[in-house]
Amino acid sequence: MNEARAKRMEAKYSGNKTKSQTKQLELGPSRGRSRAMGASGKPKNMRNAIVRLMQYISHEKVLIIAAISCSLIHTGTSLAASYLLRPIINQFIYFEGGASDISARVSGLLTWLIFLAIIYGISVLTQWLQQRLMLEASQRTLVRMRSELFAKLQNLPVRYFDTHAAGDIMSRFTNDVDTIGEMLNTTLIQIICGAITIVGTIVLMLYTNPILGLITIIATPLLTFVSKTIMKNGQKAYSEQQKNLGMLNGFTGETVSGQKVVKVFNHEEIAMDEFGYLNEKLCRAQEEAQFRSGIMGPATHQLCNMVYAVVASVGGILVALGRFDVGGLTVSLNYTRQFNRPINEVSMQINTVFSALAGAERVFEVMDAEEEKEDADTVPMKEMKGHVVLDHVNFGYVPDVPVLKDISLYAKPGQKIAFVGSTGAGKTTVTNLLSRFYDIQEGTITIDGVPIEKINRGFLRSNIAMVLQDTHLFTGTVRENIRYGRLEATDEEVVEAAKIASAHSFIEQLENGYDTVLENDGANLSQGQRQLLNIARAAISKAPILILDEATSSVDTRTERHIEEGMDALMENRTTFVIAHRLSTVRKSNAIMVLEKGKIIERGTHEELLAAKGRYADLYHEIVELD
């Protein structure tokens, strides 16, 4: 990879925006898709992430309380079983003076061992119940989190999807939520058990021998300080890891979906270089994160061993001086190990905690994104006829960078209005405003005399059918994909819509006709066939307003003629807005708007504009010459 390309990628994926990134939306979302695929900005707030995760877990209070109850029983029985070793050792194993009756000693020992077995059995059973209950609670929490995240996406404005890579959004559903689930399934229960174990162990250590108990307790702040220091440094490292993981997934998703473009332009090597750069960046971030978390285990483990050695030495001296019993020393050492074990377990799970918290913050970033503003003071409308008026409309995707300038036009019900002009002239932006994907900044748009901002969004969009240049088909049958335009449509209406769109003939030739299952966005169909199904989807809708954004750009000229014939029936009594580069598709329009640099520079019928010998005439003659 040459130096110039490396510098471009560094600027592209660094936290500092380049000049091109600051202008991403100036030309509109279809040409300004952001490639910033990872979260960036200020350091992450670990406390806030923990609080919000606990709020999600709190919905499962019954299961949590039951799990904690099992943890109390499990911890209590474990600690009790450990303490029972003291009388067993003193009375039956290490004793002074000896017992003359061996059988009595053996019988007594067996009785105590049976008692211990019962206690350990209860401990194992409650531990299993505790884990099962926490697993249920965590999975319910993940279901709720995924549902809320998906619901949030449905309420986000189109601007959000225009400025965030699809791969990065998907990464939050998969990688980030999975890491949260891993933490809730295992780490959380260890933290709960650890906290209960520490409290119970402290009490019994002080009861068994205050001196040895205090030695263990005094060493705790040192362990806490080491853990806190490593956690502080590790949190930032794991946030960086999650960010780079999202960037890599986003780039991979875009490259896989755009393989034809990559190959036709021979950009395989460039794609490999860019993937290698992102892969290496992720590798460095993962190495840093894993190293930060990895040193916690060995560091705390060695400190725990040192504490254990000190307790053993002091306890041995007390036994030698006759101020302590061997059974008590055994129990104290056991408690010392138990006291340090939760700290070791948490330290070994710290990478999961860091990764989950970083993932949670990325999920919460989506949760906190600004939704489409709720409709206020809407005007109730029973039906929509499709009388559309734009009056002195000004709009820009980026403040102070206008895309549309003083646009005024009207369309009566049943009329066909066409937009032509150079790429970036603002044609698609007009349709984005009609659908309220974006809200206008100046001027007014009215439909049937009602300002568009006073019309309920759901009602507005249910009365608009749209066919975009980019086709999209859902996993399901051909029939289901067409019926997506109006779910209550009958099978006969589905067939009729397909005939209008000139799709019926090729559908019948499919293996199972209308019941053929489409997967992977209709990968087994040609681009033109996919577009015909999208047109059929619009045809089945009874929406009074129809938007065709380069609807016939993916079909051949012969098919286009068939579609135009069907479109005449489709557009009857519908207000239709057409965006087309093929000027042959706009000849029959009631009015043609010629846009350049966001302004309408010409308007009229096909014949009127040709007679005017202006920009439209130039575009038309250029295309005729090419044909």
Spatial separation of the C-alpha atoms in residues 362 and 40, rounded to whole Å:
10
Query: Looking at residue 104, what is its pLDDT?
Result: 73
Question: 276-303 pLDDT, tens per residue?
Answer: 888 888 888 888 777 776 776 677 777 7
If you average pLDDT over residues 254-273, what whole number do you get? 77
What backbone phi and psi angles, to 5 degrees, belong to 379?
A: -95, 120
Query: Looking at residue 97, what is its pLDDT?
Result: 45
**DSSP state string for 514-552:** GGPEE-TTTTTS-HHHHHHHHHHHHHH---SEEEEESTT
With tokens 């005024």, the residue in question is: 408
- pLDDT for residue 66 is more than 80: yes
Question: 206-251 pLDDT, tens per residue?
Answer: 888 888 888 878 877 776 676 666 666 666 777 778 778 878 887 8
Using alpha carbons only, what angle is made at residue 534 by residues 531 and 539, rounded to the nearest 5 degrees? 125
Neighbouring C-alpha atoms within 13 Å toward the C-beta of 348: 11
If you average pLDDT over residues 417-430, what whole number do you get? 86
Using alpha carbons only, what angle is made at residue 599 by residues 597 and 600, rounded to the nearest 5 degrees? 130
Spatial separation of the C-alpha atoms in residues 521 and 473, rounded to whole Å:
5
Query: Looking at residue 339, what is its pLDDT?
Result: 74
Closest Cα to residue 314, out of 210, 390, 226?
210
- pLDDT for residue 255 is more than 60: yes
Spatial separation of the C-alpha atoms in residues 76 and 67, rounded to whole Å:
14
Token output for 210: 């205050």
Are the C-beta atoms of 437 and 157 separated by less than 8 Å? yes
Of these ranges, 37-51, 143-157, 319-333, the one predicted with the greatest mean pLDDT is: 143-157
pLDDT category at 528 given cuts 50, 70, 90 is: confident
A 10 A CB-CB count for 439 gives 14
A 10 A CB-CB count for 446 gives 17
Average pLDDT of the chain is: 80
Closest Cα to residue 172, out of 414, 358, 407?
358
- pLDDT for residue 27 is more than 50: no
Spatial separation of the C-alpha atoms in residues 252 and 412, rounded to whole Å:
46
If you average pLDDT over residues 367-375, what whole number do you get? 83
- Report the SS3 class of residue 556: coil
Looking at the chain, the domain(s) classified CATH 1.20.1560.10 span 46-367
Closest Cα to residue 392, out of 351, 355, 467, 443?
443
Query: Looking at residue 616, what is its pLDDT?
Result: 87
Are the C-beta atoms of 553 and 579 separated by less than 8 Å? no
Query: Looking at residue 343, what is its pLDDT?
Result: 65
- pLDDT for residue 23 is more than 50: no
Question: 380-405 pLDDT, tens per residue?
Answer: 888 898 999 999 999 988 878 889 99
What backbone phi and psi angles, to 5 degrees, belong to 408?
A: -135, 130
Looking at the chain, the domain(s) classified CATH 3.40.50.300 span 376-463+586-627
Determine whether 171 is exposed, middle or buried from the number of CB atoms within 10 Å of its CB (0-12, 13-18, 19+): buried
Spatial separation of the C-alpha atoms in residues 244 and 57, rounded to whole Å:
28
- pLDDT for residue 304 is more than 50: yes
Query: Looking at residue 3, what is its pLDDT?
Result: 65
If you average pLDDT over residues 438-450, what whole number do you get? 91
Q: What is the DSSP letter of 585?
A: G
Burial 573-586, CB ≥16 within 10 A → b, else e:
ebbbbbbbbebbbb
Spatial separation of the C-alpha atoms in residues 552 and 564, rounded to whole Å:
9
Token output for 196: 């209960």
If you average pLDDT over residues 522-545, what whole number do you get? 84
Domain 46-367 falls in which CATH fold? Answer: ABC transporter transmembrane region fold (1.20.1560)
Spatial separation of the C-alpha atoms in residues 60 and 325, rounded to whole Å:
46
If you average pLDDT over residues 38-57, what whole number do you get? 68
Spatial separation of the C-alpha atoms in residues 357 and 351, rounded to whole Å:
10
Are the C-beta atoms of 538 and 468 separated by less than 8 Å? no
CATH number for the segment(s) 376-463+586-627: 3.40.50.300
Closest Cα to residue 475, out of 516, 515, 514, 519?
519
Query: Looking at residue 26, what is its pLDDT?
Result: 46
With tokens 């019309």, the residue in question is: 455
Cβ partners under 8 Å of residue 181, min gap 6? 138, 139, 142
Are the C-beta atoms of 620 and 600 separated by less than 8 Å? no
